[in-house]
Amino acid sequence: MKQITIEIKKLDPRAKLPTYQTSDSAGADLYALLDNAILIPHGQVAMIPTGLSSAIPSGYEMQIRARSGLASKGLIIPNGPGTIDADYRGEIKILLLNLSGKDFEISPEMRIAQAVIAPVLQAQFTPVEELSITERGEGGFGSTGTHN
């Protein structure tokens, strides 16, 4: 698998570096940096610190995605995937939304999200008078059908 170097700074000595759980994992787990467990009430969003900052190479982003095990219990990334841009040097914090129907406990050093490194292209947005015609046209939500 192709690798890229991402510089990571520990803002707190207790912070844990992202870890891949298997050799073919696309996402590296990110860990909560908390002094004590916290509860995220049902329907609420919490911002969880990781104690890490990064220097992502230009032309790449770090996507913050939900862990499937937590998502299956109702804990999701509300802006998922979130994006950490190459020029951001602040602390990586994870937004978690609790849709579980009950309070959800986040404990210190809990794996709370995944970081996926992805290439980025920037577009040149060019104004035009008309767009090319397609079969779909202006059909939006549900326009291609809802059945398999």
Q: Is the pLDDT of residue 137 over 90?
A: no
- Which CATH architecture describes the domain 7-119? Distorted Sandwich (2.70)
Q: Rounded mean pLDDT of 119-124?
A: 96
Parallel, antiparallel, or unpaired for β 75-76 and 93-98?
antiparallel
pLDDT score, position 80: 87
Secondary structure tally for the chain: helices H, strands E = 1, 11
Q: What is the mean pLDDT of the chain?
A: 95
pTM of whole model > 0.95? no
Q: Collect all residues with Cβ–Cβ distance below 8 Å to 126 and sequence separation of at least 6.
A: none
Q: Rounded mean pLDDT of 25-33?
A: 97
pLDDT score, position 139: 83
pLDDT score, position 148: 60
- Cα–Cα distances (Å) from 37 to 49, 62, 98, 106, 123, in that order, read 12, 26, 15, 5, 43
Q: Is the pLDDT of residue 27 over 70?
A: yes
pLDDT score, position 142: 74
